[in-house]
């Protein structure tokens, strides 16, 4: 039913050696404007301020998640419950799961009223996008893919494979981010994990004999979160960006004029962003208007933007190190009321290696015992159980601008 390419297309990739594309529809989606746009959005935003080689983009990761889906189809025991149509949904969902991301996404979502998943769904369903045109050759395909991304429970197995505690998205990005940052953690034994997986009654399980590879994966994830993604300098950069957005927002609310071409961005803030404008947004767009803000007549906006451009980031104090409360008070008191919220902030990041507290039950990992019974991972593995409790780590930090 789905047309194949005359000759398999291959993309060289440092993680998998080669990424293979057999289906014409996948090749067309990769060439679409909306997927190509991801070449202009870095995967890790502010992280490259600390790990300078982490300059890879969401495009690279999207191809990787697609390839991981391919590997699932080739290696997971029982995956033949997916017929060709469902396999195509799976491959497309893996490839497209991040098309809704904006530039410097975390900061972006803090002022946007949509999550990036909602935006992804919009882009897939909007009749004006190239993606939608490609998918619409096949009845229902666009809506079915959107369904998987929206987690509306119509395709629970596919949802689990595309986005859960152990999915093609995370398996690619942990390895990839480790490769490009040069971090020593994050190298996961994905082939072993794939071979441990088994589809039982349409549910994704992990064989008991492979639980150690999951334990190791969760530990890698824990380390990548606290050593890379939540690194204080990366967070400082992103907080600065968030405060620039907030200042713009506040100025607009006060009716002030902003001297920079930020129409598309304002639409985002004002929650009336059409897909077409959204697609225009990329890292260069954000960098561009911030460069202009460095000449703004608004003191706060100008100062924040200069700090960002010249990498004079917020300094920080980690509350876990028992800092002197008077010292903090002294810092805080230096700022007048009107600038305080821009120049001084209290930040909190929470994370766990493995969460058992999620509401939707597709999210936790099931272990298949040799006798055929199924247990939840945290019941089966004392290590995971203790990880899920002890790794519930909260990082509280004070960020502030030096003079």
Q: Hey, how many other C-beta atoms are within 10 angstroms of the C-beta on 227?
A: 16
Among 343, 357, 27, which residue's Cα sits nearest to residue 165?
357
Segment holding 349, helix H or strand E: strand 344-351
Residue 111 and residue 290: Cα distance in Å, rounded? Answer: 16
Residue 374 CB, shortest distance to a second copy, in Å, is 14
Output 38 or 125, the one with its CB closest to a second copy: 38
- Residue 373 tokens, joined: 């019974």
Residue 253 CB, shortest distance to a second copy, in Å, is 28
Residue 288 CB, shortest distance to a second copy, in Å, is 6
Output 139 or 321, the one with its CB closest to a second copy: 321
Residue 237 CB, shortest distance to a second copy, in Å, is 12
Residue 163 and residue 149: Cα distance in Å, rounded? Answer: 8
Output 113 or 382, the one with its CB closest to a second copy: 382
Output 144 or 282, the one with its CB closest to a second copy: 282
Phi, psi of 125, deg, nearest 5: -90, -20
Residue 247 CB, shortest distance to a second copy, in Å, is 22
Residue 82 CB, shortest distance to a second copy, in Å, is 20
Among 360, 361, 365, 363, which residue's Cα sits nearest to residue 377?
365
HSE (CB half, 13 Å, CA atoms) of 53?
A: 8
Residue 228 is classified by DSSP as I
Residue 176 CB, shortest distance to a second copy, in Å, is 9
Query: Which residues sit at the interface with a second copy, rule CB under 8 A?
Result: 10-15, 17-18, 31, 33, 36, 39-40, 48, 51-53, 55-57, 59-60, 63, 179-185, 187-189, 191-192, 195, 208, 212-213, 215-216, 219, 222-223, 226-227, 283-284, 287-288, 310-311, 321-322, 369-371, 382-383, 385-387, 389-391, 393
Residue 192 CB, shortest distance to a second copy, in Å, is 6
Output 42 or 151, the one with its CB closest to a second copy: 42
Residue 263 and residue 275: Cα distance in Å, rounded? Answer: 13
Output 115 or 323, the one with its CB closest to a second copy: 323
Q: Going along 3-81, which residue ranges are E strands?
A: 4-13, 17-23
CB 284 within 8 A of CB 40: yes
Phi, psi of 68, deg, nearest 5: -65, -35
Residue 347 CB, shortest distance to a second copy, in Å, is 18
Residue 374 and residue 376: Cα distance in Å, rounded? Answer: 7
Residue 311 CB, shortest distance to a second copy, in Å, is 6
Output 233 or 340, the one with its CB closest to a second copy: 233
Output 126 or 294, the one with its CB closest to a second copy: 294
End-to-end CA distance of the chain: 65
> What are residue 204's DSSP bridge partners?
199
CB 51 within 8 A of CB 182: yes
Would the CA dihedral through 271, 275, 278, 280 be positive or negative? negative
Output 78 or 288, the one with its CB closest to a second copy: 288
- Report the relative pairing of strands 203-207 and 374-376 from DSSP bridges: unpaired
Output 181 or 305, the one with its CB closest to a second copy: 181
Q: What share of the chain is helix, strand, coil (3-state, %, to 5)?
A: 55, 15, 30
């Amino acid at each position: 039913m789905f047309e194949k390419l005359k000759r398999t297309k291959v993309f060289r990739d440092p993680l998998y050696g080669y990424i293979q594309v057999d289906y014409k529809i996948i090749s067309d989606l990769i060439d679409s404007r909306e997927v190509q746009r991801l070449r202009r959005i870095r995967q890790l935003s502010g992280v490259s301020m600390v790990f300078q080689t982490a300059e890879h983009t969401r495009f690279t990761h999207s191809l990787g998640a697609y390839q991981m889906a391919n590997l699932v189809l080739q290696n997971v025991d029982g995956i033949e419950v997916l017929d060709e149509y469902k396999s195509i949904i799976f491959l497309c969902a893996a490839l497209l799961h991040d098309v809704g991301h904006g530039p410097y996404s975390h900061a972006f979502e803090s002022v946007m009223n949509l999550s990036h998943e909602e935006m992804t769904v919009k882009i897939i369903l909007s009749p004006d996008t190239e993606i939608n045109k490609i998918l619409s050759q096949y009845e229902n395909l666009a809506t079915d893919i959107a369904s998987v991304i929206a987690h509306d429970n119509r395709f629970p197995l596919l949802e689990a494979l595309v986005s859960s505690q152990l999915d093609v998205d995370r398996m690619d990005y942990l390895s990839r981010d480790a490769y490009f940052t040069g971090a020593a953690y994050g190298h996961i034994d994905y082939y072993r994990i794939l071979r441990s997986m088994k589809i039982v009654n349409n549910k994704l399980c992990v064989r008991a004999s492979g639980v150690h590879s999951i334990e190791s994966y969760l530990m890698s994830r824990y380390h990548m979160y606290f050593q890379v993604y939540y690194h204080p300098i990366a967070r400082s950069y992103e907080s600065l960006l968030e405060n620039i957005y907030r200042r713009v927002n506040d100025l607009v609310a006060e009716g002030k004029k902003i001297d920079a071409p930020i129409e598309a961005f304002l639409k985002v803030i004002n929650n009336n962003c059409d897909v077409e404008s959204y697609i225009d947004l990329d890292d260069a767009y954000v960098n561009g208007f911030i460069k202009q803000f460095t000449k703004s007549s608004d003191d706060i906006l100008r100062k924040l933007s200069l700090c960002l451009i010249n990498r004079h980031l917020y300094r920080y104090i980690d509350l876990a190190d028992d800092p002197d409360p008077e010292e903090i008070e002294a810092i805080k008191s230096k700022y007048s009321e009107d600038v305080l919220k821009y120049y001084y902030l209290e930040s909190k990041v929470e994370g766990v290696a493995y969460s058992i507290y999620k509401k939707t039950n597709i999210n936790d990992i099931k272990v298949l015992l040799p006798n055929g019974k199924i247990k939840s991972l945290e019941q089966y593995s004392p290590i995971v159980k203790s990880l899920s409790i002890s790794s519930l780590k909260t990082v509280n930090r004070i960020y502030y601008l030096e003079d």
